Structure 1
Amino acid sequence: MVTETVVKIKAQYSNKMKKGNPIVLKDAIVNIDNLETEGMIIKLVDEQDQFIGKGYYGKQNKGFGWILTRKENEEINNDFFRHKIMKAVQYRQAFFQDKETTAFRVFNGEGDGIGGLTIDYYDGYYVLSWYSLGIYQFKDAIIDALTNLVQYKGIYQKKRFAEDGKYVEEDDFVTGEQGQFPLIVKENGASFAVYLNDGAMVGVFLDQREVRKRIRDRYAKGKNVLNTFSYTGAFSVFAALGGALKTTSVDLANRSRSKTIEQFSVNGIDYEAQDIIVEDVFQYFKYAVKKQLTFDLVILDPPSFARSKKVTFSAAKDYTKLLKQAIAITEPDGVIVASTNSAAFDMKKFKGFIEKAFRDSGEKYKILEEYSLPADFKTINEYKEGNYLKVVFVKKIN
């Protein structure tokens, strides 16, 4: 039997939560001492004891839990999870039927009604990611619901939360048949090698699917392309498939080189005709200026936070400075794909960073198009932080 306790919410937070915001912030809780064990059911009330919602206690970033239902009498049990996952699967039916794309998100946390949980699909395999010990307490009910609702080859899970003060990031094979890795999946006709058993990062970020397709179909042909913070080179692959003259991929991680070679190879692209550089991106920008290297298309997709030996980068504080470095090596009439996955600011503020970077650089620009999360990464208007992806195609005007 799961423990249930009443949690009182401060007045300045309760209205927002009543309107549909699902996150339970630590600062919002009056009687925080009532929270004992992650995974316990919490009944949320305002300071007048009026019902707000029911959910679970689980520490995730600044949050201390998520609201799962606004119905006071609804039980959070096996049937509850089955219904949520069934709705999510039905919502993605078009993705399941698309033979050109065999990797996508099936369940997107609070967008599908259960904050702290994501489920991704890779050509018959499912990967569940648990973002708090709280939601992990419901793993048996959730895995049981999934296995009874879908056909699957195998299921994997990733724990991405702290236990006993130590950050846990481990993989477990759950059920079905174990995959043979690399597993080759498709995205808009291109191929990606993924590893479901090799840490939190499987080899490709699914949320950038539409952006990669746009680069291939509209922006890459005949262009000299720089892909910074390139990870496994997914943007470079799509640029090469789109007819780029050459791609240059730059990432600090040592294994980015072998991973990028692999992604080029599974698509039949001669990786030796491309540049793959293992280096701090900030140092590479300095090198490019010194050597007078310029590019027609620059892809700028840094992590929200990164630290190297010489540089600490925070998207919220440092994106403008980073963009100025990119502008300096972008050809006149060239395009910068400015991207961030930081939930710390919205698109309006992000465009402010772009405006300031061009103004400080003494350059003019034009915004060509914008992207946020694709349809499989379902979000809700009441929790705008959930729609974290912001991508802007910016033309440097001659």
Structure 2
Amino acid sequence: MARSFVVGPETVRMLELGHPWVIADRYTRRWPQARAGEVAALTDEGGRFLATALLDPGDRVAARVLAFSPIRLDGDWLRTQLTQAVARRRQADLSATNALRLVNGEGDGLPGLVVERFADFLLVQLYARSWEAHLDLLTAVLAETVRPAGIYLKTRPRQTRELAAKGQTGKLGRLVWGQKASFPLPVIENSLTFLVDLQEGLHTGLFLDQRRNRQDFMARVGGRRVLNLFAFTGAFSVAAVAAGARQVTSVDAAGAYLDRAAENFRANDIDPRKHEFLTGDCFRVLEELVRAKRRFDVVLMDPPSFSTTRQSRFTTRGGTSELVAQALRLLPNGGLLICSSNHQKVDLADFLKEIRRGALQAKRELRVLATFAQPEDFPFSVTFPEGRYLKYLVMEAGGVPADGPGG
């Protein structure tokens, strides 16, 4: 029988609206002592049942809702949730892809838990300590339901920004079930090959939420000169070359990422020496490209929500407008500026305001041709707006004076 934990009026209101989080407050600080992962019944001050939740005492999100009804977190319940999540992926076009997200946390009714499939292997990522107590059950049901060759676990560390800035991420993943994979592991996305690692660092090397956007990107870049800022391991760059881009320039502050980008080029039988890789802070590199009077037909910027280099600190909320202003100095009339952000706390309206500031600063016109978000294997509930985090805008640049940048 689950113990009862009382929540305050504000949390009651949010739970009644279907939001799955209990944010720590003066009511949660009065809860009886509990361990991370305890399954609890949440009630109002009158004892009325509200939800069944996993507890994370001491965290900002003190509890995450599993169901708005009494349940037991056992094999039968978890098997049902996972089976439904797998079935939900039939809505996505995965005909040329073997890398996808199988469980998207709150969007699949399993808050704080992410499961991704990379070829024959699964990567489980825990964004809440509460799931650690149920790891054996989770891996057993995943093995039975999905039948992978092996299952890797990656617990998201706290202070990830600081660790990444110091280069101290190291080997964060480990095998928890089945056979070992050989890394780098090749996977297929949109018929292209990418190399991933389920053990090293914070990221696998391929952001699956951009799959459909890369497909759209490929339809726009044929015969064009492409600049890919914050290129990471070069997935968009590979997609551009494969789609017939004339020249691709990839920029990232981390040379190690660009080395992996070159490996992704070679994995697709593309000679990286025929294209350009620039290591450096994107603001500084943009300034150098402007001074050199370089021109591009397509500029893509997909920065992390936060990054730190020796030269600068970037945040989506504060740096997008400057990036846009500089990028527009490289684009002719009719050129495409593609801006993406995965910052959960910046909604589409705020993102557009930042882009507008950059366009006004550059005295250029920008027309939005298309907007996209994450694909179908990243579902989110309408009661959890934080789940719609990815913003991807395709824009046409105009307004260059007759004596301004040319083609």
| TM over 0.5, shorter chain | yes
Measured in 1, the distance between the counterparts of 2:398 and 2:392 equals 19
Instruction: From the superposition, tell whether residues 125 and 28 of structure 1 become closer, same or farther in structure 2 (CA, over 3 Å).
Output: farther
Q: 1:277 maps to which residue?
A: 278
Local SS of the residue matching 1:332? coil
Q: Percent identity?
A: 28
Measured in 2, the distance between the counterparts of 1:61 and 1:329 equals 45
Q: Is 12-21 or 262-271 further displaced after alignment? A: 12-21
Q: 1:86 maps to which residue?
A: 83
What are the residue-to-residue correspondences of 1:191-340 with 2, within 5 Å?
Answer: 191-217=193-219, 219-340=220-341
User: How far did 1:121 drift?
Assistant: 0.7
1:47 aligns to 2:45 (yes or no)? yes
Matched to 1:6, the amino acid is S
User: How far did 1:137 drift?
Assistant: 1.2
Higher strand share: 1
Q: Is 229-238 or 341-350 further displaced after alignment? A: 341-350
Measured in 2, the distance between the counterparts of 1:211 and 1:268 equals 22
Q: 1:114 maps to which residue?
A: 110
Local SS of the residue matching 1:134? helix
Instruction: From the superposition, tell whether residues 174 and 30 of structure 1 become closer, same or farther in structure 2 (CA, over 3 Å).
Output: closer
Measured in 1, the distance between the counterparts of 2:89 and 2:45 equals 40
Q: 1:58 maps to which residue?
A: 56
Gap runs ≥5 in structure 2: 164-168, 400-407
User: How far did 1:319 drift?
Assistant: 1.8
Q: 2:176 maps to which residue?
A: 174
Q: 2:404 maps to which residue?
A: none
Q: Is 281-290 or 57-66 further displaced after alignment? A: 57-66
Gap runs ≥5 in structure 1: none
Q: Is the 8 A contact 2:253 2:282 kept in 1?
A: yes
Q: Which of these residues, 22, 25, 46, is aligned with residue 23 of structure 2?
A: 25
Instruction: From the superposition, tell whether residues 324 and 34 of structure 1 become closer, same or farther in structure 2 (CA, over 3 Å).
Output: farther
Local SS of the residue matching 2:156? strand
User: How far did 1:381 drift?
Assistant: 0.7
User: How far did 1:68 drift?
Assistant: 0.3
Q: Is 330-339 or 369-378 further displaced after alignment? A: 330-339
Instruction: From the superposition, tell whether residues 103 and 30 of structure 1 become closer, same or farther in structure 2 (CA, over 3 Å).
Output: closer
Measured in 2, the distance between the counterparts of 1:323 and 1:35 equals 50
Q: 2:403 maps to which residue?
A: none
Matched to 1:127, the amino acid is L
Instruction: From the superposition, tell whether residues 350 and 12 of structure 1 become closer, same or farther in structure 2 (CA, over 3 Å).
Output: same
User: How far did 1:189 drift?
Assistant: 0.9
Q: Is the 8 A contact 1:154 1:177 kept in 2?
A: yes
RMSD: 2.2
Q: Is the 8 A contact 1:227 1:300 kept in 2?
A: yes
Q: Is 272-281 or 343-352 further displaced after alignment? A: 343-352
Measured in 1, the distance between the counterparts of 2:226 and 2:63 equals 43
Measured in 2, the distance between the counterparts of 1:271 and 1:51 equals 60
User: How far did 1:192 drift?
Assistant: 0.7
What per-residue deviation string (whole Å, max 9, x for no partner) do you get for residues 209-248 of structure 1?
A: 011111112x111111111111100000001111111111
User: How far did 1:75 drift?
Assistant: 1.4
Local SS of the residue matching 2:73? coil
1:387 aligns to 2:392 (yes or no)? no
Local SS of the residue matching 1:14? helix
Measured in 2, the distance between the counterparts of 1:268 and 1:297 equals 23
Matched to 1:91, the amino acid is R
Local SS of the residue matching 1:27? coil
Local SS of the residue matching 1:295? coil
Q: Is the 8 A contact 2:5 2:31 kept in 1?
A: no
Q: 2:155 maps to which residue?
A: 159
Instruction: From the superposition, tell whether residues 28 and 207 of structure 1 become closer, same or farther in structure 2 (CA, over 3 Å).
Output: farther
Matched to 1:394, the amino acid is M
1:76 aligns to 2:76 (yes or no)? no
Measured in 1, the distance between the counterparts of 2:78 and 2:319 equals 40
Corresponding residue pairs, total: 391
Local SS of the residue matching 1:128? strand
Instruction: From the superposition, tell whether residues 61 and 288 of structure 1 become closer, same or farther in structure 2 (CA, over 3 Å).
Output: farther
Local SS of the residue matching 2:294? coil
Measured in 1, the distance between the counterparts of 2:275 and 2:120 equals 32
